[in-house]
Structure 1
Amino acid sequence: MAGKSKHGARGITRGGHQSPFVLDISRLGMRPGSMITFDETVSSPSRIGIELIAIPEGAPVDLDLRLESVSEGVLVSGTASAPTSGECARCLTPVTGDVEIYLTELFAYPDSATEATTDDDDEVGRVVDDTVDLEQPIIDAVGMQLPFSPVCREDCPGLCPECGAPLADFENDAEPHGHDVIDPRWAKLAAMKPVDEDRPDPDAGGRE
């Protein structure tokens, strides 16, 4: 048995489930070797990623999956890809890109040996009411795949430590960007108003 889903075509449907990553597998059946392929673009139900970069909520996620019935459950394998957006870890300018993850997940049938010998905290999912939920596996895989410190370019110089301006903005200037740094011990003196040398000295009268 095999079928294919393409933007609502026959095969796997999500039915009334809220998350687009919850797939209805009722047509797959439980006979080992039965297979259904799933090729569809869905909207990300939430922001998926890490602090500085992620798949935005509502972004298109391309799913290219194969669901196969095995003796203990349903084996899901394939890829998920989506655009990403975030900010550079060095200069905080916007960065965009793409991420692609590879999935190989087993979802145990109710009352199977795998279901009976694994806990809910284990890395084995469950088939629930003829559905499999890929949301957490996708979240985990995306978090592992994305760079912890994304950069706008490999040689990004970052921000000026004095004024916070992106140093890349000054790369074509004739003079390097910089600031006069005053020794804090002399800061109070630098803030004082200079003495006007043209002002007459009141104590100078009568001097020879």
Structure 2
Amino acid sequence: MSAGSGSASRPRAAARRNPDAFFVLDTRSLGRRPGTMQEFHRTVTTKDRIGLDLIAIPKGSDVELDLRLQAVSEGVLITGTVAASTEGECTRCLEPFTGEVELDLTELFAYPDSATEQTTEDDEVHRLVDDTIDLEPVIIDAIGLELPLQPLCSPDCAGLCAECGVRMAIAGSDHGHEILDPRWAGLAKFATESPGTGGPDAGAADPDH
């Protein structure tokens, strides 16, 4: 681990973030009086891909934040929705597809001097730093839990043909393959090699020729 990458360095790193930009919210206008609320709406363009291996919010996509910030005794409670477009690869037919993800967000960010901040570990609760809230790690975790591990282009995707690999969606209803009993495989091979009544050397075996 490089110097300055531990938990003790996180407040200093967070303090350098740009307030009220990207996924960072400035709460100074909210104040700390319990019960005070603010509506918050923002469209954020992602700097990186957010999601799983087979499905994610692509880099450069718009993420819609529709949130409510509420001051409580221990910090700021964030509630609302996060919505964005997704791109993925179907695990049945392997075709790319697009979709939408929308999740409900409920998260408490503790004040630096609160009992919650003083009695919890760094990874147990999120914290305000210099009156700002960084939603990015919360959204990354929430999106990862919301997206399916095995995404499908449609719930009824028929996948690929097990015999030839063609997509069943375009193969047609009459698509199929004749399955030959392996016990008859030798006879079938003999028949294809001998279009007449005998094998390819049948004429040479005739004593009259």
TM range (shorter): 0.7 to 0.9
Q: Which moved more, 1:28-37 or 1:178-187?
A: 178-187
Q: Distance in 2 between matches of 1:114 and 1:97?
A: 38
Structure 1 residue runs without a partner (length 5+) = 1-14
Match of residue 169 from structure 1? 170
Give the CA RMSD over aligned residues. 3.1
Conserved? CA contact 2:20–2:26, under 8 Å: no
TM-score of the superposed pair, with normalisation by structure 2? 0.75
Match of 2:90 among 88, 91, 97: 88
Structure 2 residue runs without a partner (length 5+) = 1-16
TM-score of the superposed pair, with normalisation by structure 1? 0.75
Match of residue 62 from structure 1? 64
Matched, 1:143 2:144: yes
Aligned AA for 1:132? Answer: I
Structure (1 or 2) with the greater helix fraction: 2
Q: Taking every aligned residue pair, what percent have the same amino acid on both sides?
A: 50
Q: Distance in 1 between matches of 2:49 and 2:21?
A: 13
- Residue 183 of structure 1 and its aligned partner are, at CA, apart by 3.6
Aligned AA for 1:142? Answer: I
Conserved? CA contact 1:167–1:177, under 8 Å: no
Aligned length: 187
Alpha-carbon displacement from aligned partner over 1:9-68 (angstroms, at most 9, x marks no partner): xxxxxx736972122222222232333221111112322222322211111111011112
Structure 1's 57 and 182: CA in aligned 2 closer, same or farther, altered over 3 A?
Answer: farther
Match of 2:110 among 108, 111, 127: 108
Q: Distance in 2 between matches of 1:33 and 1:186?
A: 79
SS at match of 1:139: helix
SS at match of 2:140: helix
Please identify runs of 4+ aligned residues in structure 1 that moved more than 4 A: 179-182, 184-187
Conserved? CA contact 2:49–2:58, under 8 Å: yes
Matched, 1:197 2:196: no
Match of 2:44 among 37, 42, 45: 42
Conserved? CA contact 2:63–2:84, under 8 Å: yes
Q: Distance in 1 between matches of 2:33 and 2:20?
A: 28
SS at match of 1:42: strand
Q: Distance in 2 between matches of 1:166 and 1:102?
A: 35
Q: Distance in 1 between matches of 2:184 and 2:115?
A: 74
Match of residue 157 from structure 1? 158
Alpha-carbon displacement from aligned partner over 1:82-112 (angstroms, at most 9, x marks no partner): 1111122211122222111111111111121
